Amino acid sequence: MAGVRDVLGKDFDTRATIANYEFSDPTIESQIVNLKATGADTLIVGATPKFAAQGIRRVYEIGWKPTFFLANVSIWVSSVMEPAGLDKGIGILSTAYVKDPNDPAWTDDPGVKEYKAFLQKYVPDGDLRDQGFVNGYNSAMAMVQVLKQCGDDVSPENILKQALNLKDIELPMLLPGIKVNTSSSDHLPVEQMQMMRFDGKQWVRFGDVRDARK
């Protein structure tokens, strides 16, 4: 919401309608219906997976056809798109910064092969497509880099110092061109993304990698 406010500026209050939900809510169906009633032609869903799936399904059921953006915390096929109904998500837009291990484009990719081998060894029953495993693996590889930079000094102070001194680190499951950078004044490790669209089976990336720092 803060990002949309930054873009719209003073027009935010007259052009945007916000619908909130609580984690204890059973559904967000009523919020979707109320948003359609505003006449909006664009919908941004920044919900967690369970509610994102409900939102996708409800938008389809009521025949609403807005330009639909989905926050990338809820893009995963196994936990969101399949529960919602694959056909119901066709055309939805989102962004990616990690590789989808199920995407044929990465069949021969060394990083994806490494990830699959790691998961097969340590979590043989895990779903390769699961967002938690992909992001967890990248985070672990970033921590390995931090420890390498620490050398023999693994004090808490030096670990923090090195964690805030990562320069152009390429992780196995990050998209090509996306690198981890941190500093004492910038704690956000990933500030690049690529647009993508759901085609009913998988997410299809398009366009160049976008950099928030430029």
The model's pLDDT over 159-176, given as tens digits with 9 standing for 90+, comes to 999 999 999 999 999 999
Position 212 scores a pLDDT of 83
Fold that domain 2-97+191-211 belongs to in CATH: Rossmann fold (3.40.50)
Dist. CA 146–CA 185, nearest whole Å: 17
Domain boundaries, given as residue ranges, for the chain = 2-97+191-211, 101-189
Phi, psi (rounded to 5 degrees) for 169: -85, 125
Separation between Cα atoms, residue 161 and residue 155, nearest integer Å: 10
Q: Which pair of structure tokens corresponds to residue 70?
A: 């989905």
Q: How confident is the model at residue 77 (pLDDT cuts 50, 70, 90)?
A: confident
Neighbours of 27 (CB within 10 A): 14
pTM: predicted TM-score of the whole model, two decimal places: 0.86
Q: Is the pLDDT of residue 76 over 90?
A: no
Mean pLDDT of 169-198: 95
SS3 60: helix
Comparing CA positions, the residue from 99, 41, 31 lying closest to residue 66 is 41
For the stretch 133-155, pLDDT in tens is 999 999 999 999 999 999 999 99
